[in-house]
């Protein structure tokens, strides 16, 4: 992978349609850069790829390091090399957008990748509990997700901003996953607050996509449900 290129496996719309039985291995994802996010087979929890290691963030805030052979039905990764590092106050998630725009206000239609390191006063994270039956759509899983809040924790957020018109390819707007420094908790970030954290950013204009070849993928409708994505990935 070249610096700040993005690799994506599958499409968010495939997950929305419940296509998550199989996918690439964790070791293959680990060869596609140094950080990223995604989910595991049957949407069992959230995936965070950080410093070359892939972790599974499970319901109730549990974490395990993925086995090399674990299957990943959807993930986005990058060979992240920060183009700017700043100390930023995050009163809420919207401050991420603001900081990215300050860094580069000509990238509305480009991808941006980032990493936030530091001490968080407050974090609200969710983890998907996994499908109860084959093909269960993500929108349904969102209704029974596990939600945890954390106060005064140290850790890292791995994030990606996808341009608006790519909704369904990925999550349009901000998508970020958190993992604690001790690797004992984490999840898909719903809310965050930090008085001062290190914010590293990069613009990405090269996107490499690998699509599944399974029957499940080919039978999926893959129609973008904007409201559905916002309610489950917001
Ligand atoms: Zn997520």
Q: What is the pLDDT of residue 104?
A: 87
189 Cα–ligand 1 center, Å: 7
- CA gap 125, 145 in Å, rounded: 10
For the chain, domain boundaries = 6-233
2 Cα–ligand 1 center, Å: 24
pLDDT reading at 142 higher than 90? no
Tell me the three-class secondary structure of 77-107, residue by residue. Answer: EEECCCCEEEEEEECCCHHHHHHHHHHCCCC
209 Cα–ligand 1 center, Å: 18
Over pLDDT 90: what percentage of the chain? 88
45 Cα–ligand 1 center, Å: 9
Residues around ion ligand 1, judged by CB within 5 A, are: 188
Q: What is the pLDDT of residue 60?
A: 80
Write out pLDDT tens, residues 64-119: 999 999 999 999 999 999 999 999 999 999 999 999 999 988 888 999 999 999 99
For the chain, report the end-to-end CA distance as a whole number of angstroms. 29
- CA gap 128, 132 in Å, rounded: 11
Residue 22 phi/psi, 5° resolution?
A: -135, -155
179 Cα–ligand 1 center, Å: 12
- Write the DSSP assignment of 36-68 as a string of letters: EEEE-GGGBSEEEEETTEEEEEEGGGEEEEPPT
Confidence of residue 173 (pLDDT cuts 50, 70, 90): very high
pLDDT reading at 24 higher than 80? yes
232 Cα–ligand 1 center, Å: 9
pLDDT reading at 61 higher than 80? no
User: Hey, what are 227's tokens?
Assistant: 């409201």
pTM of the model: 0.96
Q: How many angstroms separate the Cα of 63 from the Cα of each of 44, 77, 105, 161?
A: 12, 19, 36, 24
Write out pLDDT tens, residues 150-167: 999 999 999 999 999 999
Q: Is 185 in a helix, a strand, or coil?
A: coil
44 Cα–ligand 1 center, Å: 12
38 Cα–ligand 1 center, Å: 6
User: Hey, what are 139's tokens?
Assistant: 């929108």
167 Cα–ligand 1 center, Å: 14
What is the second-level CATH architecture of the domain 6-233?
A: 2-Layer Sandwich (3.30)
* C-alpha gyration radius of the chain: 16
DSSP structural state of residue 201: E
């Amino acid at each position: 992978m070249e610096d700040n290129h993005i690799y994506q496996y599958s499409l968010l719309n495939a997950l929305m349609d419940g296509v998550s039985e199989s996918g690439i291995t964790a070791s293959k994802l680990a060869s596609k850069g140094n950080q990223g996010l995604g989910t595991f087979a049957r949407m069992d929890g959230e995936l965070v790829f950080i410093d070359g290691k892939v972790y599974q963030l499970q319901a109730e805030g549990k974490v395990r390091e993925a086995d090399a052979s674990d299957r990943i039905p959807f993930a986005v990764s990058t060979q992240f090399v920060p183009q700017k590092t700043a100390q930023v106050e995050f009163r809420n998630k919207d401050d991420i957008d603001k900081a990215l725009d300050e860094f580069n206000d000509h990238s509305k239609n480009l991808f941006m990748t980032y990493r936030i390191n530091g001490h968080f006063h407050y974090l609200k994270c969710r983890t998907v509990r996994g499908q109860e039956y084959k093909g269960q759509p993500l929108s349904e899983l969102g209704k029974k997700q596990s939600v945890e809040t954390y106060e005064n924790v140290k850790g890292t957020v791995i994030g990606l901003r996808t341009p608006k018109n790519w909704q369904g390819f990925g999550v349009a707007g901000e998508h970020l996953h958190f993992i604690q420094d001790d690797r004992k908790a984490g999840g898909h970030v719903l809310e965050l607050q930090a008085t001062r954290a290190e914010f590293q950013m990069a613009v990405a204009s090269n996107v490499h996509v690998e699509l599944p070849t399974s029957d499940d993928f080919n039978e999926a409708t893959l129609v973008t449900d904007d409201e559905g994505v916002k309610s489950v990935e917001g």
